[in-house]
Amino acid sequence: MGFRLLSIEDFYTAEERFWERVDPTSVTEDGWRGAVEAARTDLESVLGRGDGRAALDASCGTGTQALALALLGWRVTGADLTAHSVEIARTRAARLGVAADFRVCDMRALDRHFPGAFDCVVTCGALDNVSEAGGVRRALAGMHAALRPGGRWYLWLRDLEWVVAHETRYKYKGTRRVPHGQVITVEDWHVEGDAHVVHVYAHLHEDRRRTFPDEPWQTEAFGYRRRILKKAELAASLRDVGFDQTVFLPQAHPWEGYRVTARKPAAEAAASGRGDPPHVRLRPARPPA
């Protein structure tokens, strides 16, 4: 299948502009609210309510987790590389009536922008977008620097190691009704060695008002490069940049990806080389097989 290989920023912009074109209500209609609600349930179970504490979403995209955290009473800053996504996040915050500060920022530069500012940092669906060698570690070091001592870190990520080992090349992602027809989306993974995969979204768009040139279907496919970020690599990188209490949370099925929490050690424990007393220690940083 032919596709355009895009930079991260161009991929997400192309994806969002595609939906805005085929379904101009996609930014304002209520479909995204369901995703915010699901994130709210998930984040409340892991991080609790904010009560005015400060949270950074380091890869906020169109705002799913950032808006959920704002609804939970966190004082939210959302940062993302893709300016177009940040604009959509601002629109959605206004529609929900919540306050959040959204900015364009690369997660590899967080330490320069937000040193020691947050009680929690979250990053969902994004860390493997940093595909170059050393990039993941730089991003994690920036998130660590953005946390106050004792602050919590949370990640959700697709398990690409499992996906490339178990999934078929083409995977049906879904069908969406749009004003003049429908869009069927298929995912595809082009594996590059054992470290990278090019992830392709192919949209088969039916527009009943038109023919292209002799039927109403047209295909648009774009892809971007992702790192196959193995759980062991993530756990080691977290430890190396100074996190402790790394926990891989249970997931019903590997297709759901993995959720991880960790902590920036409290100042006195870090200074003395001591961790928490045993009664508050979470499970050790051993990723599930």
Ligand X SMILES: C[S@@+](CC[C@H](N)C(=O)[O-])C[C@H]1O[C@@H](n2cnc3c(N)ncnc32)[C@H](O)[C@@H]1O
Instruction: Name the one residue in this structure whose structure tokens are 């915010």.
Output: 36
Minimal distance, residue 15 CB to ligand X, in Å: 9
Q: Which residues bind ligand X (CB under 6 A)?
A: 8, 12, 59-62, 64-65, 80-82, 85, 106-108, 124-126, 129-130
Q: Is the dihedral angle over the CA atoms 77, 145, 114, 128 positive or is it negative?
A: negative
DSSP string, 45-106: HHH---TT-EEEETT-TTSHHHHHHHHTT-EEEEEES-HHHHHHHHHHHHHHT--EEEEE--
Our CB check for ligand X shows the closer of 201 and 243 to be 201
Provide the minimum distance between the beta carbon of 57 and ligand X in the complex, in angstroms, as a whole number: 7
CB of 39 to ligand X, least distance (A): 7
Ramachandran angles phi, psi of 77, nearest 5°: -115, 130
Q: Nearest-CB residue to ligand X?
A: 61
Between 32 and 206, name the residue whose CB sits nearer to ligand X.
Answer: 32
Residue (12 or 118) nearer to ligand X, CB:
12
Count the residues in the chain. 289
- Beta-bridge partner residues of 175: 184
- CA 95 from chain centre, in angstroms, equals 22
For ligand X, give the closer residue by CB, 62 or 77.
62
Closest separation in Å from C-beta 222 to ligand X = 14
CB 126, min distance to ligand X, A: 3
Closer to ligand X by Cβ: residue 42 or 207: 42
Edge-to-edge strand ranges of the sheet holding 147-157: 100-104, 75-80, 54-57, 118-124, 147-157, 258-263, 244-249
